[in-house]
Amino acid sequence: MTRPTARAVAEATGVSRTSVSFAFNDPSKISAETRRKILEEADRIGYAPHPIARMLTNGVTNTLGLLLPQPIPEILENPYYNLFLRGVGQVCHREGLTLLLTPPLRGSMLTAIPYAAVDGFVVTGLDVDRGEVAALQRRRVPFVLVDSDAPEGVPSVDVNDHGGMVSVLEHVLQLGHRRVAILSFESGRDRPDAGYRGALARRIAGIIDALAEYNLALDSPGITLLEVPCTRAAGYHAAQQLLTQPDRPTAIVALSDILALGALDAARDANVNVPTQLSITGFDDQPEASYARPQLTTVRQSIEAKGRVAADFLVAAINGDVQHPHQLLHTALIVRESTAVVPARAAGRRGKGAVCSTAG
């Protein structure tokens, strides 16, 4: 019942364990006949070199680790990660590597690291504030940071979150919308006052800057910021809430397509026409965005490219490349069918409201 070892093959074949190893790893060092005998016996008893012993000796696992911020089932619910995984998977395919999904252990991403048999990590969703990067560096394991705030000495991949957010919000404001709900995914901050980090921080900054051009701010009347879990259902419920408010928003700017699609569902069920009565925008440009009806106006980023570039950087780092490349991928505003000029009635109401408040 116990696994066959090289010793068993060696004894049955009458050769040394060295020869058995050579049969698998360097056939040029033994005779063809010896090799044939060894492989035949190995096949017969089901022997293959123990992968872990081999990894220990060779110091190579041929496995890329993907350090995740949430348990695997939650990660896979998010289409974002599906695309990201594909990008990483492309590199795995090209390089002949396996991919280890490494969720947090006892609630901590860092704790999971020393248990993973990998050559390096692609790190996504890490809160990089409190010494996490330093801890990672001390481990002497190659890694690449994605969508974080990477310090100089660490390879990293990001997208132009700030620019993307500015462009979509400008688009909405140009259409005349002034009652705008920002639908954000949860920040993963420990405390509400901890401040935003990484990609989300850059998107929020983009929102603030775009609003400022119109003399608005996050706390201006008519501007709302909601944080919800990053699921279609959460987008649905948040939008449902918003649509029942007396002075409901004329535009919902979501920080993720999945949230925007949920909002689209809610509008349909509430018989609110998009875009004539309500504009909705997303972020990501996932395939779903163009399958939706109306097709979603959104910010395109190539999530797949992000995964691919991150894995490329990791492979380079594993191969001893001492560069620490930072790549910033571009974003682009994709205007489709889900945005339109603010409804006349709402614009009128807005005017009236402004007069009222001036009078009051």
Kindly tell me which of 19 and 78 has the beta carbon lying closer to DNA: 19
Kindly tell me which of 51 and 221 has the beta carbon lying closer to DNA: 51
Query: Number of residues in contact with a second copy, rule: CB under 8 A?
Result: 51
The residues in 42-71 that bind a second copy, with binding defined as CB under 8 A, are 45-46, 48-53, 55-56, 61-63, 71
Kindly tell me which of 249 and 307 has the beta carbon lying closer to a second copy: 307
Tell me if 12 contacts a second copy by CB under 8 A: no
User: For residue 223, how many other CB atoms are within 10 A of its CB?
Assistant: 18
β-sheet bridge partners, residue 228: 185
Interface region with a second copy, contact rule CB under 8 A, candidates 33-41, 79-87, 241-249, 341-349: 79-87
Minimum distance from residue 26 beta carbon to a second copy (Å): 17
18 touches, from a second copy, DNA, none (C-beta below 5 to 8 Å by class): DNA
Q: Please give the Cα distance from 305 to 88 (Å, whole number).
A: 9
Q: Rule CB under 7 A: which residues touch DNA?
A: 2-3, 5-7, 14-22, 24-26, 28-32, 34, 47, 49-50, 53-54, 56-59
User: For residue 286, how many other CB atoms are within 10 A of its CB?
Assistant: 24
Those residues with Cβ within 8 angstroms of residue 149's Cβ, 6 or more apart along the chain or in another chain = 128, 197, 198, 201
The rounded Cα 186 to chain-centroid distance in angstroms is 14
**Of 17, 130, 32, 147, whose CA–CA distance to 80 is shortest?**
147
Figure out which of the listed residues 117, 218, 335, 355 binds a second copy, where binding follows CB under 8 A: 117
Tell me if 317 contacts a second copy by CB under 8 A: no
CA angle 322, 327, 328 (to 5 degrees): 165
**Of 197, 258, 203, 246, whose CA–CA distance to 225 is shortest?**
203
Kindly tell me which of 43 and 247 has the beta carbon lying closer to a second copy: 43
Cα-Cα-Cα-Cα dihedral of 193, 197, 199, 202, to 10°?
70
Q: Which residues bind a second copy (CB under 8 A)?
A: 1-4, 45-46, 48-53, 55-56, 61-63, 71-73, 75-77, 82, 85-86, 88-90, 92-93, 96, 98-103, 105, 112-117, 135, 137-140, 293
